[in-house]
A and B are shown apart, each in its own frame.
Chain A
Amino acid sequence: MPGPGFACHGRWRLLTLLPLTLLPLGCGAGSGGGEGEEITLYTCVSDETIQPIISGFESDNDGSEVKLFRAPTGDLNARVAGDVRSGGLKADVIWGCDPLTMQGYVDQDLVGGWSPEGAADIPEQFRTDDYVGVAVLYMVAVYQDGAPAPSSWSDLAGTDYDSVAVSDPNVAASALGALGYFSQEPDYGLDFYSTLEEQGAQQVGTPDEVTAGVAQGAYDAGITIANSAYLAKDSGSPIDIVWPEPGAIAIYGPIALATDSADSTLAKDFISYVVSEAGQQVVAEAGSYPTLPGVEGPEIPADAPVVYPDWPKIDATKDSLLSDYQQIFGG
């Protein structure tokens, strides 16, 4: 005759089966084992851009596989730092979103030392000996429909705008690029940010938040990235976009080979593909601005002025720059 606990055997059996549900968990990454070679790519580029690139490369290289880890720059940095302290970088290729982050990896000897042949076709301001820019972000001015259009960056610090939104250079590398550019320009300097703040400018997190805030009517104008602004405008948001004088600020996203993968032909082929005209075309069709001249990307107004930050100088002065900026906007 069964005891009182017997009726519950089914439940206990379920409990004993619980560990079995975990077995497949160990079969995630690393099981790999496709027919051809595989490489691992670490990137902060948007999923919308990276997926078509991977598809294009894999279809051109039958049997090959690109394993992807995609995350914002902060998480990417943390993952790389974790890798370095647990057996070494797991990526064969890193595609970053700004030159400062990539230079940090070069300084640690994690990436660099190789450039694809096609790199020579990329403008000099978008490459070094260790990495090559394959996409660009342009910092532009966005303003509400009905508000006066700023013709230059300095107009944003004028009395036409009650509130201007800027993104946080501690969070967004594009904002750091803009801060670096303005700080080095004799007509602007950090005084530009001081005047903005005195005029009621607000700091938000990312350029997307700037765009959303202006579109929503929370701010009259702002400094944001062109992709974000055009996406919102094309979706129907009541905003307009200006590439102000002396120019939209170009921040390039570089790609580099991991030093531990110096012998990986597939990793080199992948970088060469992204730099090539075919790869740059995919980048453009995915909505990012390519770096290769002649490849038509998203909207750029005719004769739009563009300026380029001095990245090595920004890298050298980053800490003091951010500290001075913090005195203005707090945080």
Chain B
Amino acid sequence: MRWGFFVREALRGLRRSSAPALAALLTVLLTALVLGVFIPIVQATTGTANEVRDRVAVDVYVKESATQVEQAELKEALEATSNVRSVEFISKGEALARAQEKNPKAFKEGAALLGSNPLPASFRVRPEDPDELDEIVQRLAPGGQPQLAAIDEVRDREEDTDKILSATGLVKALTAGLAVLLVFASIALIANTIRLSIFARRREVEVMKLVGATNWFIRWPFVIEGVIVGFFAGLLAVLLLTIAKETFIDPLSERFELLAAPETIDFGLLVIVLMVACIAVSALGSGITLRRFLRV
């Protein structure tokens, strides 16, 4: 009975002041659309950036003279080092094969010409945290002097690493900044629209208070209104996004494998996130904005 009353009050409110409600709905809708496009983009860029960062590695070259046992010991020692995520052994043969793949012309005849494989076996050490790569290098070969007998040389491909780290760092910072900006803009916009629509009805709220209505008795219909507005805004946003996805993104990603490559949010999850965000923002916005008018 009570809830039926609140819902009927909310519907009456929407019917009687449909213009501000529509404005609120549009703001929430636009924000949801922007968010719906922005979330996958942010994820794609950070995903790509992280992928690039994963390429950062330290190569530990093994001495030609090292025995099988020494190699095994070295591998264990490397794996035991802190901040090491994985250790990959690249034998002499593999090293040659990779080199040939990268630069076929130079190695096609070169290997035959030399008669033997000039490339050393190595361990590729990938760090847990690419930013702390130096630490690994320092541990394995402080001041360029290898700690273990089997190590010939430790190289971190300094220039590549630095470039990768600074470039991806910048991309990440930029997207994070944009996201924060967007969230602030959305909140300000939605708060303002909701405030306008409630401000238009502040007299009504005042009268309700004077008749002896409790705060929640007044607030519930407004919150339910917010839920309804948020729900429809979210629904519209999801609909538009689905249409856009089906007509533009899906055919594209079929043709270009590359676009689909980075891991992005599942569309179903995105829909849920958007709906919940719309409803929550709209309902909370109404409830909180009302507070100042309830102080009668």
| A pairs with B | no
* A interface with B by C-beta (< 8 Å): none
B interface, CB within 8 angstroms of A: none
